[in-house]
Structure 1
Amino acid sequence: MRSLRSRAILSGIWLSILSIFVGAVVLVTSVDDIALRRFDTEMAARHLQLTVALADDGLDADTIAAELTDPLYDRPYSGRYWQINALNGTIVTSRSLFDAVLTLPAATSELQYADGVGPDGEVRLAWRQIKAEGDAPMVVAVASSLAELDQERWDIRRSLLTGFAIVGLLGLIIATLQTSAILRPLTTLQRDINQRWDSDEALDPSSYPKEVAPLVNDINILLKRNRDIIDRTRRQGADLAHALKTPSAILRNELHRFDQLGQTVNVAQDALDRIDAQITRSLTRVRAANLASVAPRGTNLRGSLERLTRAFATLFADNAHSLDVHVPLDLSVSMDAQDLEDVLGNILENGLKFCRTRVVVSAHRTEHFNFVRIEDDGPGIPEPDRVEALRPGGRLDTATRGTGLGLAIASDIVNAYGGTLTLGQSANLGGLQVDCHLPVRHGL
């Protein structure tokens, strides 16, 4: 799902591009009209010069050319031309027309403009009919190549587009900064939710903009409800476990009494073990799912391992087993402390139970997960049996007491929090290798 920041920035970019495009089209069109009027004004000035020269010198090409100082009139096909058509059929032209003549539309006494064809391509014409005293009417015309107009338009467009590009870039930078400033309270709110959840405190609506304050109030209500749900789930789980342990203990005592009387109770004992295992697993999954559905407290990984190390040192005091922990002090996992210790405890107990002499725990942090590896020098688990080892109640070694639930519980809890647990063979110690990708919350 795209973030609000991305949406705002992308919307700003598209709106800026659209605004710049529309503004550029309108402005370029206006500038083209201005350039054309300016071009026509210059042509009107040249037409006036030609008309004055004709009035002074008569219909003589050389004397007219002497009065017109523009050198382009003397260079063949230069793009600037003049032409005078007399009613008797006489046509006088500038040297720039060389052996060509311009085709002039019908003339009136008003100066007219139109595009036409010259000897070097398209030209812009300005012409009108004049009549001096005692002379027959004549059509006086000047022409300029449209390439001049196109070049002038391109120069103006290039300057405008450069300016628009700079303005657009500045606009995008400003929009990005403005978006970041507007969304900063939401970023602060996200960080505060994590911190206040850890400290069991409510958010202060007055610390946020008034537009965000109603949302903060709703979040406070949700946080309180989630805490209540978690506490209620814990109490219900504890009550249910207590309620089930009593009849389970009675059944075990009865089975033990029957066993002492010489009756076969293996099948019943195994069935009771499986019932206890399934109940324990179901309660653990419900508890983990409820905790993982909200922002969990951050638990220090090294601290949990140190507590477990002390506990297992007492539990396996009679065995010459070593538990080596190589975990940075500052690694925090977004899991409830009890759930994290259930995961690590089940894996470590399994490793210490089956290892020969040594269990090693190592961990490091990646961008999204804390990677924890627990490996031992025991017999390990063959690859075809690893799926069975993660199945609830799946037992690969029936000679050892237990429910066969430890690795399955660990896998269920890790999965409930969005992590993964996989089994493999240790390249360093040769025994079982358990790899856990545990969630990490940024900012912890």
Structure 2
Amino acid sequence: MTSLRARAVTGGILWAVAIIVLGLAGVSSYVTSQTQARFIEVLETRHSQAIVAVSNNSDSANDLVRAIGDLVYQVPFSGQYWQVETDTGAIYASPSLDEERLPRPFGLSQERQRREFTGPNGEPVFAIGQWVPVRNGAMWYVQVASSLRSFEEDQAVLRNTLLTAFTFVSFVGVLGALTQVAVVLQPLNKLRQDVSGRWEQEDGLEVASYPVEVAPLVNDINTLMDRNRDIMRRSRRQAADLAHAIKTPSAIMRNELENLKIEGMDVQDAVDALDRLDAQLKRSFARMRADGTDATVGVATELDTALGRMERAFNALARNEGKIFKATYAKGLRVRMDQSDFEEVTGNLLDNALKWAASEVRLDVAETADGQIMLTIADDGPGIPKEEIAKATQSGQRLDTSMPGTGLGLAIAHDLIHAYGGKILLSKDDRLGGLAIHMRLPFASAKRSD
């Protein structure tokens, strides 16, 4: 599944990285060119100063060391050098060269010569040299040189500084992209939460509370929900009408069979078949009602009301049979299930438990840690063997024919509960020793809208 958040974050990060890399390359290139130009400018200034010193001291060449007296020329192998060569081959050099000498000039051109070579101590050196006339008409070659090692070190420091700055900018950019994505997607997150909340409310989504870009989608969702609501309501009505239409012929057939039985005819097989037909139809109609329920628009059952009514009814039924019925449930619980469906499922299961119980039936209701409602119906009857539990919720599976019934009670309960997003599990009850039916149903947290 493609994530809008992932796509937006990835695109934003890639775009930020591209801009930062291009910016870093551009700034680094610009600063490097400016630094190089500054390096050459300083060297040219020193060359001009050397030419002036030579012109003023050509009559006494021994004074050149004092005339070009910059301290950087006094330290051996400082990286800053000068050298003067006369047209007769005499050489005067800065103390920084020690015993080393710079390369000799090419030709006698008075144009400035720029060249790079390996200087003292094997370090790269950039030099500027020029033949200049002196007072006696002779030509002297004045040359100054500067080590490129310091320039390269300065460049490395500059690159590291720029890299640190752009790394920080990258971090801020990525953080900004994440923040922007979160802000942009917030209306979609709100929409998802609001759509989920339609389980608890009947009203549509408020279009005005969303950005104009999302508003058309909200309108479409409202239309779809209204249409879906209408379809489900019509489906429920059709199921109810069909059930009512079949009840009358079934009742007539049952009366005719009863009359035939009174007359002495053996119609038990036909009665059993009609019972199973009624049960199958009941199950089908129950599924149709559940599939067409208003579950998406806030159906809910107040357990205080539904269970209170059942507690009174089954207390009386249990007393009539000499058995005990106990119900334990907290006040204020609500399940997301139609009340008629809830009462049908719970009533059938309690009736089945009372039929099979030896002496006691218990109903316990509690809220689970994950916010669901757990209903447990347990009895002290024979229970169901483990290998038979799977059959108990299947259509038409009667595990014991010694008791009257169709074998579809658990199957109908299973279908209805699953239709509402719940689960039903069967096990042996540790306390009473009989069958325990656990029904996990969605919790309805909000009051239904009027």
TM > 0.5 fold call: yes
Tell whether the 8 Å contact from 1:370 to 1:440 is kept in structure 2 after alignment.
Answer: yes
**Partners of 1:312 and 1:72 in 2: CA distance:** 112
Change (3 A) 1:349 1:2: farther
Tell whether the 8 Å contact from 1:352 to 1:359 is kept in structure 2 after alignment.
Answer: no
Q: Deviation of residue 391 (structure 1)?
A: 0.9
Q: Bigger shift: 233-242 or 370-379?
A: 370-379
Name the counterpart of 2:216: 214
Select 2:391's aligned residue among 384, 388, 391: 388
Change (3 A) 1:63 1:388: same
Q: Deviation of residue 309 (structure 1)?
A: 3.5
Determine if the alignment matches structure 1 residue 138 to structure 2 residue 141: yes
Tell whether the 8 Å contact from 1:113 to 1:124 is kept in structure 2 after alignment.
Answer: no
Q: Tell me, what secondary structure is at the counterpart of 1:129?
A: strand
Change (3 A) 1:277 1:29: farther
**Correspondence list, 1:114-125, <5 A:** 116-119=117-120, 123-125=124-126
Q: Deviation of residue 388 (structure 1)?
A: 0.6
Determine if the alignment matches structure 1 residue 402 to structure 2 residue 405: yes
Tell whether the 8 Å contact from 2:81 to 2:97 is kept in structure 1 after alignment.
Answer: yes
Q: Bigger shift: 52-61 or 133-142?
A: 52-61
Name the counterpart of 1:44: 44
**Partners of 1:211 and 1:398 in 2: CA distance:** 64
Determine if the alignment matches structure 1 residue 431 to structure 2 residue 444: no
Tell whether the 8 Å contact from 1:327 to 1:361 is kept in structure 2 after alignment.
Answer: no
**Correspondence list, 1:298-317, <5 A:** 299=300, 302-303=303-304, 304-317=306-319
Q: Deviation of residue 230 (structure 1)?
A: 1.4
Q: Any idea what the Cα deviations from partners look like across 1:203-259, whole Å, max 9, x if unmatched?
A: 444444433333333333222212211110111000111122222222322333333
Tell whether the 8 Å contact from 2:200 to 2:444 is kept in structure 1 after alignment.
Answer: no
Q: Any idea what the Cα deviations from partners look like across 1:127-183, whole Å, max 9, x if unmatched?
A: 23232323334261312233x334333433444344434444444444444444444
Q: Tell me, what secondary structure is at the counterpart of 2:40?
A: helix
Q: Bigger shift: 41-50 or 78-87?
A: 78-87
Q: Tell me, what secondary structure is at the counterpart of 1:323?
A: strand
Q: Tell me, what secondary structure is at the counterpart of 2:367?
A: strand
Change (3 A) 1:226 1:138: same
Name the counterpart of 1:279: 281
Q: Bigger shift: 191-200 or 206-215?
A: 191-200
Select 2:364's aligned residue among 357, 361, 365: 361
Name the counterpart of 1:240: 242
Q: Which runs of 5+ in 2 are unaligned?
A: none
**Partners of 1:264 and 1:61 in 2: CA distance:** 147
Determine if the alignment matches structure 1 residue 31 to structure 2 residue 34: no
Select 1:329's aligned residue among 318, 327, 332: 332
**Partners of 1:203 and 1:228 in 2: CA distance:** 17
Larger radius of gyration, structure 1 or 2? 2
Change (3 A) 1:139 1:72: closer
Tell whether the 8 Å contact from 2:73 to 2:80 is kept in structure 1 after alignment.
Answer: yes
**Partners of 1:246 and 1:100 in 2: CA distance:** 124
Alignment TM-score, normalising by the size of structure 2:
0.79
Q: Any idea what the Cα deviations from partners look like across 1:275-333, whole Å, max 9, x if unmatched?
A: 223222222223323348x7352535644544544454455453533333345735x54
**Partners of 1:81 and 1:342 in 2: CA distance:** 105
**Partners of 1:271 and 1:317 in 2: CA distance:** 32
**Partners of 1:121 and 1:257 in 2: CA distance:** 125
Change (3 A) 1:109 1:180: same
**Partners of 2:168 and 2:34 in 1: CA distance:** 23
Q: Tell me, what secondary structure is at the counterpart of 2:203?
A: coil
Tell whether the 8 Å contact from 1:296 to 1:336 is kept in structure 2 after alignment.
Answer: no
Q: Which runs of 5+ in 1 are unaligned?
A: none
Q: Bigger shift: 258-267 or 230-239?
A: 258-267
Name the counterpart of 1:17: 17
Q: Deviation of residue 364 (structure 1)?
A: 3.0
**Partners of 1:345 and 1:311 in 2: CA distance:** 10
Q: Tell me, what secondary structure is at the counterpart of 2:398?
A: coil
Instruction: State, as a whole percentage, how many aligned pairs show the same letter.
Output: 38
Change (3 A) 1:19 1:290: farther
Letter matched to residue 295 of structure 1: T
**Correspondence list, 1:20-419, <5 A:** 20-57=20-57, 63-64=64-65, 67-71=68-72, 74-76=75-77, 78-84=78-84, 93-98=93-98, 100-101=100-101, 109=110, 111=112, 116-119=117-120, 123-133=124-134, 134-138=137-141, 140-146=143-149, 148-193=150-195, 198-291=200-293, 295-297=296-298, 299=300, 302-303=303-304, 304-319=306-321, 320-327=323-330, 329=332, 333-355=335-357, 356-367=359-370, 370=372, 372-378=374-380, 379-419=382-422
Q: Tell me, what secondary structure is at the counterpart of 1:374?
A: strand
**Partners of 2:159 and 2:165 in 1: CA distance:** 10
Change (3 A) 1:192 1:52: same
Letter matched to residue 25 of structure 2: V
Tell whether the 8 Å contact from 1:370 to 1:439 is kept in structure 2 after alignment.
Answer: yes
**Partners of 1:210 and 1:329 in 2: CA distance:** 40
Change (3 A) 1:375 1:200: closer
Report the count of equivalent residues.
Answer: 439
Letter matched to residue 39 of structure 2: F
**Partners of 2:268 and 2:101 in 1: CA distance:** 122
Q: Tell me, what secondary structure is at the counterpart of 1:131?
A: strand
